[in-house]
């Protein structure tokens, strides 16, 4: 057994002030331990205000939010959906839930996210109903060019901002630039409700429609009548209370995540072959995870294993969807940049509860690997 204190990749971090419990207590005091209720309504309003979206609907997960965004976009059986390949599988799976057809789009090295060049090429070959772009690790995609291409080709733009709550692209919050934005409050995200998600949009009618679908699609009749397929996708009023409390410390969490990244950049950025994840002056990432690529003497897997021996959690970059057995049969448009980021990259522990000593433990292990070559 390893006696050294565990350093985690990214774990839930409750507010010092106990905000979460105050809202949860309120739900208990009123006995409103049900799906929906005041915490849900307020969490939707507070999150929408925070990111600058007009409307929001709280859901049971980020995955449910992507599913509902696709339905809201009118995606159905046989429709083509362009999807960033370099991402977590939950971005793509809802395309299959709807029996639609994913076409995977490459990333570029400038953003690690959807390559506008690959997207343009894809539009020459297909007419998709929707495009799902991801803001990976809290870095924003090149939205101006992606929005322009989607407008030109009449495709609905969905932003998977599951990892990027609090991140900005040119002064606008990620998730509010396309037609729909998706956030996740899973346990490892920058803020959490233990599990949950949110869909935001300026299309009020569509958000209301999602609220209808997500509460079992009950027609307005006294008896239980259904003319559409429903889902049980709403967030519980208890969990929304946790979310309201967490939202109050989002800015603090972003600040700490940035400090962690800056520390790693200073300490590791100069190592032979290391390139830190790309950050530009036109964006403010939330630095959900600190990542880098290396084509130097030490391979990512060796780093991950060396850290693991010292009870420190690190991870490979998401394996692109076009390399997944599940998705191998679908088309991929690009130059395999996503493959290279996957093969050479890794995610360092980025837990906001880390101390400077913890961060030093991490970089000392990595530096010693470089000294051994
Ligand atoms: C976490 C995540 C999701 C899914 O969110 P859940 O709330 O876990 O369902 C979707 N996309 C990306 C990129 C994620 O990181």
DSSP string, 294-355: E-SSS-HHHHHHHHHHTTB--EEPPPPGGGSGGGTTS-EES-SHHHHHHHHEEEE---TT--
Q: How far is the CA of 159 from the centre of ligand 1 (A)?
A: 12
Mutate to test the pocket of ligand 1, among 47, 68, 85, 90 (most ligand atoms within 8 A of CB): 90
Within 15-137, where are the H helices?
A: 19-29, 38-51, 62-72, 93-97, 116-125
Q: How far is the CA of 207 from the centre of ligand 1 (A)?
A: 20
Closest residue to atom 5 of ligand 1, CA basis? 62
Closest ligand 1 atom to 63 CA: 9
pLDDT of residue 1: 52
pLDDT of residue 278: 98
pLDDT of residue 221: 87
Dihedral angle, C-alpha 145, 250, 315, 360, nearest 10 °:
120
Q: How far is the CA of 241 from the centre of ligand 1 (A)?
A: 20
| 38, 268 contact by CB (below 8 A) | no
pLDDT of residue 31: 79
Q: How far is the CA of 154 from the centre of ligand 1 (A)?
A: 26
Mutate to test the pocket of ligand 1, among 68, 91, 233 (most ligand atoms within 8 A of CB): 91
Model pTM score: 0.97
Q: How far is the CA of 2 from the centre of ligand 1 (A)?
A: 31
Q: How far is the CA of 196 from the centre of ligand 1 (A)?
A: 10
Average pLDDT per 10 consecutive residues for the chain, totaling 373 residues: 83 96 90 82 98 98 98 98 98 98 98 98 98 98 98 98 98 98 97 97 98 94 92 96 98 98 98 97 98 95 97 98 98 98 98 97 97 87
Closest residue to atom 11 of ligand 1, CA basis? 91
| 32, 41 contact by CB (below 8 A) | no
Closest ligand 1 atom to 134 CA: 13
| 60, 233 contact by CB (below 8 A) | yes
Q: How far is the CA of 52 from the centre of ligand 1 (A)?
A: 21
Ligand 1 site residues, Cβ closer than 6 angstroms: 61-63, 87-88, 90-91, 134, 160, 162-163, 184, 186, 197
CATH of the domain spanning 250-372, picked from 3.40.50.980, 3.90.1150.10, 3.30.559.10, 2.60.40.10: 3.90.1150.10
Identify how many contiguous H helices and E strands the chain contains and give both numbers: 12, 15
Calpha distance 100→119 (Å, rounded): 18
Closest ligand 1 atom to 189 CA: 1
Closest ligand 1 atom to 65 CA: 9
Burial (CB < 10 A; 0-12, 13-18, 19+), residue 142, is: buried
Closest residue to atom 14 of ligand 1, CA basis? 162
Architecture of domain 19-247: 3-Layer(aba) Sandwich (3.40)
Say which residue the tokens 């205000």 belong to: 49
Closest residue to atom 8 of ligand 1, CA basis? 186
| 307, 314 contact by CB (below 8 A) | yes
Q: How far is the CA of 274 from the centre of ligand 1 (A)?
A: 27
Closest ligand 1 atom to 136 CA: 13
Q: How far is the CA of 184 from the centre of ligand 1 (A)?
A: 6
Residues in a beta bridge with 201 = 55, 180
Say which residue the tokens 């040119």 belong to: 170
In order of 39, 84, 122, 149, 200, the CA distances from 35 in angstroms are 10, 32, 41, 39, 19
Q: How far is the CA of 364 from the centre of ligand 1 (A)?
A: 31
Two structure tokens written together for 250: 């989002």
Say which residue the tokens 């880098």 belong to: 292
Nearest by Cα to 233 from 248, 254, 250, 211? 211
| Same fold: 19-247 with 250-372 | no
pLDDT of residue 134: 98
Closest residue to atom 6 of ligand 1, CA basis? 62
Question: Domain ranges in the chain?
Answer: 19-247, 250-372
Taking each helix axis from N to C end, the angle separating 116-125 and 143-152, rounded to the nearest 10 degrees, works out to 10
For the CA atoms of the chain, what is the radius of gyration? 21
Closest ligand 1 atom to 90 CA: 10
| 273, 295 contact by CB (below 8 A) | yes
């Amino acid at each position: 057994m390893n006696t050294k204190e565990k350093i985690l990749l990214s774990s839930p971090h409750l507010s010092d002030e106990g905000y979460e419990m105050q809202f949860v207590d309120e739900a208990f005091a009123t006995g409103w331990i049900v799906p929906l209720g005041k915490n849900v309504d307020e969490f939707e309003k507070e999150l929408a205000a925070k990111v600058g979206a007009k409307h929001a609907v709280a859901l049971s997960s980020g995955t449910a939010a992507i599913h509902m965004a696709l339905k809201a976009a009118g995606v159905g059986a046989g429709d083509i959906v362009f999807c960033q390949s370099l991402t977590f599988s939950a971005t793509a799976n809802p395309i299959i839930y709807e029996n639609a057809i994913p076409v995977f789009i490459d990333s570029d090295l400038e953003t690690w996210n959807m390559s506008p060049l690959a997207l343009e090429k894809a539009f020459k070959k297909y007419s998709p109903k929707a495009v799902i772009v991801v803001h990976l690790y809290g870095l924003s995609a090149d939205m101006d060019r992606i929005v322009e291409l989607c407008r030109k080709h009449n495709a609905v733009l969905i932003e998977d901002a599951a990892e990027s709550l609090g991140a900005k692209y040119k002064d606008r919050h990620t998730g509010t630039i396309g037609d729909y934005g998706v956030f996740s409050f899973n346990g490892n995200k920058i803020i959490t409700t233990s599990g949950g998600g949110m869909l935001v949009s300026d299309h009020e009618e569509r958000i209301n429609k999602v609220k209808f679908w997500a509460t079992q699609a009950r027609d307005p009749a006294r008896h239980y009548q259904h003319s559409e397929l429903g889902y049980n996708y709403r967030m519980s009023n208890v969990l929304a209370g946790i979310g309201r409390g967490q939202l109050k410390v989002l800015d603090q969490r972003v600040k700490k995540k940035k400090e962690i990244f800056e520390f790693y950049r200073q300490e590791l950025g100069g190592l032979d072959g290391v390139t830190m994840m790309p950050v530009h002056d036109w964006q403010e990432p939330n630095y959900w995870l600190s990542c880098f690529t290396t084509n130097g003497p030490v391979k990512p897997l060796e780093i991950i294993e060396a850290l693991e021996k010292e009870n420190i959690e690190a991870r490979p970059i998401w394996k692109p969807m076009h390399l997944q057995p599940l998705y191998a049969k679908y088309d991929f448009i690009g130059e395999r940049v996503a493959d290279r980021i996957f093969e050479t990259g890794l995610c360092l522990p980025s837990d906001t509860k880390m101390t400077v000593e913890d961060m030093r433990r991490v970089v000392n292990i990595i530096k010693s690997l470089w000294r051994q070559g």
